[in-house]
Amino acid sequence: MENIAVLQVGPLMPTVQESIRKDYGAVRLPDGALEQEEFLRTHGPSFAVAVTSGRFGVGTELMRALPNLRAVINFGVGYDTTDVAQAAGRGITVSNTPDVLNECVADTAIALYLDVLRKTSVADRYVRRGDWLSKGNFPLATKASGKKVGILGLGRIGRVIARRLEGFDCDVSYHSRNPVADVGYWYAASPVELAAGCDVLIVAAAGGPGSAGLVGAEVINALGPNGYLVNIARGSVVDEEALVAALLAGRLAGAGLDVFVEEPKVPEDLLSLDNVVLLPHLGSGTHETRAAMAELTLANLRSYVTTGSVLTAAQA
């Protein structure tokens, strides 16, 4: 394929940005709304490929402004910010970077799991403030091993999380759209049933319209005042207002959150709660994993430009 014009949507890793600029002459979409509108009116029809990330994606209006778009190359496993329905209808290929980040995202889930139950971040602050000297021993926390843990979404990442939990002698159960044939974990018929039967609910479901608000008030209430919630999926999967309300009212023991609905904005009420661990969406944030994601992103772009197909097409 020749004369493929490449559009960069949002910031990317410096190595990816430099590579697509140098090798494909990629042009970055302006950040300002007025500048974008003028840019797309003039240049929108020129672009056949967009390279973006899970944070920005190619949304409905942007995709419409790119009438000759043929591929969206996504840095990240999540692509819920891209209008996949419109892409499917127009025959636009969408790629992502699965598998290469499974291990690190699973590690982040376990880190949150341990932190929120054992209160390690709170204890760290306790020492730094001098409270150990002035107030004595830190209050008791909750045992992390041997817990009943439900995983909402037993996909690639969910399976790795489950494998790690086995090392903590946890009793693992799960809910996915369909039972997974080759695992021995107990399958719950619904998110509510899953939450009602576990001490800790780990959310690992894919984002997008189909899973928006999947963990709502009913699920949170089923988890109960002694239950904990960990979310390393997408902020949209959890009803954030219901979660905050439950935490403030003591109807949930605690939460470990790596993702939020309006990132980087975090609900103000969560900032003062010691039973909540807050991370800045760093699930895959290691040097090794981000390098692997960059490599796969560039490989997908190179494959599309040379063959018209990608190595890892996103699932509809």
**Is the Cβ–Cβ distance between 53 and 72 less than 8 Å?**
no
The one-letter amino acid code at 147 reads K
**Is the Cβ–Cβ distance between 38 and 65 less than 8 Å?**
no
Of 143, 176, 181, nearest to 161 (Cα)?
Answer: 176
DSSP state of 270: G
Distance CA 180, CA 158 (A): 11
Q: What is the tens place of the pLDDT at every residue in 88-130?
A: 999 999 999 999 999 999 999 999 999 999 999 999 999 999 9
- Position 207 scores a pLDDT of 86
Q: What is the tens place of the pLDDT at every residue in 3-13?
A: 679 999 999 99
How many CA atoms, within 13 angstroms, populate the side-chain half-sphere of residue 40?
A: 21
Q: What is the tens place of the pLDDT at every residue in 259-297?
A: 999 999 999 999 999 999 999 999 999 999 999 999 999
Q: Which helix (H) or strand (E) holds 191?
A: helix 191-196
Distance CA 295, CA 112 (A): 28
Q: Which tokens hold the place of 11?
A: 């910031």
Distance CA 219, CA 193 (A): 8
Backbone dihedral angles phi then psi of residue 255, each to the nearest 5 degrees: -150, 145
Question: Is the peptide bond between 14 and the residue preceding it cis, with omega within 30 degrees of 0?
Answer: no
Same fold, 6-100+288-307 and 102-278: yes
The one-letter amino acid code at 21 reads R
* Residue 60: partners with Cβ closer than 8 Å, 6 or more residues away: 83, 86
Provide the residue ranges of all domains of the chain, joining segments of one domain with +: 6-100+288-307, 102-278
Of 261, 226, 258, nearest to 242 (Cα)?
Answer: 261
Fold held by 102-278: Rossmann fold (3.40.50)
Distance CA 210, CA 214 (A): 8
For the segment 246-270, the average pLDDT, to the nearest whole number, is: 97
CA geometry: angle 161, 162, 168, nearest 5 deg: 100
pLDDT over threshold 90, residue 30: yes
Of 116, 79, 55, 59, nearest to 285 (Cα)?
Answer: 55
Q: What is the CATH number of domain 6-100+288-307?
A: 3.40.50.720
| Residues designated catalytic | 234, 263, 281
If you compute the radius of gyration of the chain from its CA atoms, what whole number of angstroms results?
Answer: 21
pLDDT band at residue 298 under the 50/70/90 scheme: very high
Strands 254-257 and 186-187: unpaired
Neighbours of 231 (CB within 10 A): 25
**Is the Cβ–Cβ distance between 153 and 163 less than 8 Å?**
no
Q: Which helix (H) or strand (E) holds 228?
A: strand 228-231
**Global pTM?**
0.92
